[in-house]
Structure 1
Amino acid sequence: MPFTQIVDITQIDELVDISTVSPWDPLFAILSIVAGVIIGSVCRVLIRRYGKRSRLAPNLIDLFGTITLWTIVSISVIIALSLVGFNLAPIWLAILMLGVVGVVSGRVLLENFGAGVTLQARTPFVPGDQIATGDVVGHVREVNSRVVVIDTVDGKQVLVPNAMVLRNPITNFTKHECRMSRLGVSVIYRTDLAFATSVIEAALRSADGVLDDPTPIVQVESFDDSGIMIAARFWHLPEILDERAATHAAAVSIAETLTAEGIEFAFPQLTMWWGSQPDQNPPENPA
């Protein structure tokens, strides 16, 4: 079978038209590719150099540099093909189809990649910070192009997709040097409130993990059914375990000090009264 019957020469002629190609065009095509490689390499080096001054992760900087390099090289190859007579319409159509397939199939990857860039550009947290996002609480180990790697306070490692982190509220516990916590103390109604608040404040100052500066704040907060609620607010180091330790020490110190001073805690009480006589008055509230 003749070769011309296997390969349709007319189809090749439609794809490549060498009638308009000059003797210098192949040389220009080679120079175009070489220039594309050089320019792309220089751009990648510049992106890596100046990217170190930004807050982006090194892997994202390398990814940007690589994408830039191959984009410029691809453009230079397309220019070279046009110089040697190739019809670019089928090439652009193929590139468009590949782009559509890539976007559809990699939508989740692209979404996480974009969210990762946003997180690192806005920097609501950095590696080493202790954060809460969704149901995950722990230290940020790494932020890459797909996930945020978090070491939880109970020794687990959780990979949270960047897009999920960006959609949920983010609490950064270690953004500042200290945080405030609240502990409610309910006392009975006949308590001397001025004395009780001073005793609670002294108990807070003696508790381990409670900072002296800023000073603790003790205030009457509400009158409840069973007693008077006093809010004890105190400052401690920012991490979760520091909060738990300081709250425990504060609660123990307050309980021991109030007991030693004879101040009674309030607790829910229910007084039942049967009016056996119509003119009998109900008993007074013992609280």
Structure 2
Amino acid sequence: MPVIADLIASTIVPFLFKLVGAVALWIVGGWLIQFALKLIRGGLRRSTLDATVISYLLNILAAVLRVILVVAILGFFGIETASFAALLAGAGVAIGAAWSGMLGNFAAGVFLQVFRPFSVGDFITAAGVTGTVEEIGMFVTSLLAPDNVRNIVPNGKLFGDTIQNYSVHEYRRVELVAQLDNSADVGKAITLLKAGLAKVPNQFEGMAGDVEVLEFTERGPKLAVRPYTHTAHYWQVYFDTNRMIVDVLGANGFPVPRIPVAMAAPGTTAATTAGVN
């Protein structure tokens, strides 16, 4: 019995005291971590950082602080923490090497949130994808293409490529071409197309569309027809202007541009290969 009493007094009781102390340290440490995070969150929310970036930064900080707390508790029990810290460092290096692509996407996501080259709702072209930004995540960004297909693009690929943001400015130019025949009256065509262009709806107010000679070809002069509109109305203006060009030139008797005989395929004539550009 004296042996059991000595065992309890020398081993079990100190262990229980240490266990109670470790639990108290975990509770107090957890409370202090939450209090510190609350103060930091309040300060970051008053800054210009995005809410998503703040959330991720706080999660990373909370994880680091809890790891430090666990190491402190292990040291409280008398466990050697140097090897444990070395193990954590080695695991961190291994995870970093294995997840280098993911970490790169995460870093790019942070930069996208901070520098904001585009926002949710913007229409952009980047990484070979064109669409409306639906969501900017920390690893990937979701783009809705005009054909209603969702594209999930890694942030690293987005941030490392040229980004064209069509929604930054109030208007953009619609690029269209009207091919005339060599015999056509260019001045009359320009006058008629300008009048027709003025009737196309949803053009940007205060920016009159351009109708000018773009270049000369074997078939005849090409006219640049360029209305200005907001990105939201781009395709409506594009299609309406194309239809206007066909209607105006056709209704006013402009000849169909013909391919010169020298350009026609062997065995054919200019008449059989004629067509509209």
TM-score for both structures, normalised by structure 1: 0.73
Q: CA deviation at 1:271?
A: 5.2
- The residue number in structure 2 matching 1:18 is none
Is contact 1:209–1:236 with CA below 8 Å preserved after alignment? yes
- Mapped to 2, the partners of 1:84 and 1:211 lie a distance apart of 73
- The residue number in structure 2 matching 1:87 is 80
- After the TM superposition, which residues 232-247 of structure 1 pair with which residues of structure 2 at under 5 Å, given as runs? 232-239=225-232, 242-247=233-238
- Mapped to 2, the partners of 1:221 and 1:156 lie a distance apart of 35
Is contact 1:33–1:73 with CA below 8 Å preserved after alignment? no
Corresponding pairs, count = 245
- The residue number in structure 2 matching 1:189 is 182
1:149 pairs, out of 142, 146, 150, with 142
Is contact 1:37–1:72 with CA below 8 Å preserved after alignment? no
Question: In the alignment, is residue 207 of structure 1 matched against residue 200 of structure 2?
Answer: yes
Q: CA deviation at 1:261?
A: 3.1
- Mapped to 1, the partners of 2:218 and 2:24 lie a distance apart of 87
Deviations 1:223-249 (CA, angstroms, capped at 9, x unpaired)? 11110111111112203xx32221211
- Mapped to 1, the partners of 2:109 and 2:59 lie a distance apart of 17
Q: Which runs of 4+ in 1 moved over 6 A?
A: 25-32
- Mapped to 2, the partners of 1:94 and 1:38 lie a distance apart of 27
Is contact 1:56–1:117 with CA below 8 Å preserved after alignment? no
- The Cα RMSD (Å) is 2.9
- The residue number in structure 1 matching 2:15 is none
- After the TM superposition, which residues 34-53 of structure 1 pair with which residues of structure 2 at under 5 Å, given as runs? 36-52=29-45, 53=47
- Mapped to 2, the partners of 1:63 and 1:263 lie a distance apart of 63
- Mapped to 1, the partners of 2:255 and 2:39 lie a distance apart of 70
- Mapped to 2, the partners of 1:255 and 1:144 lie a distance apart of 45
Q: CA deviation at 1:35?
A: 6.3
- Mapped to 1, the partners of 2:174 and 2:36 lie a distance apart of 50
Is contact 1:176–1:238 with CA below 8 Å preserved after alignment? no
1:269 pairs, out of 260, 266, 269, with 260
- The residue number in structure 2 matching 1:56 is 50
Q: CA deviation at 1:270?
A: 1.2
Q: CA deviation at 1:139?
A: 1.9
Question: In the alignment, is residue 136 of structure 1 matched against residue 125 of structure 2?
Answer: no
The alpha-carbon distance between structure 1 residues 83 and 271, as it changes in their structure 2 partners (threshold 3 A), is: closer
The alpha-carbon distance between structure 1 residues 135 and 247, as it changes in their structure 2 partners (threshold 3 A), is: same
- Mapped to 2, the partners of 1:73 and 1:271 lie a distance apart of 80
- The residue number in structure 2 matching 1:13 is none
Deviations 1:22-76 (CA, angstroms, capped at 9, x unpaired)? xxx9999888766643443233224433444535243x42222122123123324
- Mapped to 1, the partners of 2:43 and 2:149 lie a distance apart of 35
Question: Which amino acid counterpart does residue 176 of structure 2 have in structure 1?
Answer: L
Q: Which 5+ residue runs of structure 1 have no aligned equivalent?
A: 1-24, 273-287
- Mapped to 1, the partners of 2:83 and 2:247 lie a distance apart of 84
- The residue number in structure 2 matching 1:15 is none
1:254 pairs, out of 233, 245, 251, with 245
Q: CA deviation at 1:77?
A: 4.1
Question: In the alignment, is residue 175 of structure 1 matched against residue 168 of structure 2?
Answer: yes
Question: Which amino acid counterpart does residue 167 of structure 2 have in structure 1?
Answer: T
Q: Which 5+ residue runs of structure 2 have no aligned equivalent?
A: 1-17, 264-277
Q: CA deviation at 1:205?
A: 0.8
Question: In the alignment, is residue 112 of structure 1 matched against residue 105 of structure 2?
Answer: yes
Is contact 1:203–1:253 with CA below 8 Å preserved after alignment? yes
Is contact 1:56–1:121 with CA below 8 Å preserved after alignment? yes
- Mapped to 2, the partners of 1:207 and 1:109 lie a distance apart of 48
The alpha-carbon distance between structure 1 residues 32 and 243, as it changes in their structure 2 partners (threshold 3 A), is: same
2:94 pairs, out of 96, 101, 109, with 101
- The residue number in structure 2 matching 1:224 is 217
Q: CA deviation at 1:169?
A: 2.4
Q: CA deviation at 1:114?
A: 0.9
Is contact 1:129–1:174 with CA below 8 Å preserved after alignment? yes
TM-score for both structures, normalised by structure 2: 0.76
Question: In the alignment, is residue 164 of structure 1 matched against residue 164 of structure 2?
Answer: no
- Mapped to 2, the partners of 1:93 and 1:267 lie a distance apart of 79
Q: CA deviation at 1:175?
A: 1.9
Question: Which amino acid counterpart does residue 269 of structure 1 have in structure 2?
Answer: P
- Mapped to 1, the partners of 2:57 and 2:218 lie a distance apart of 63
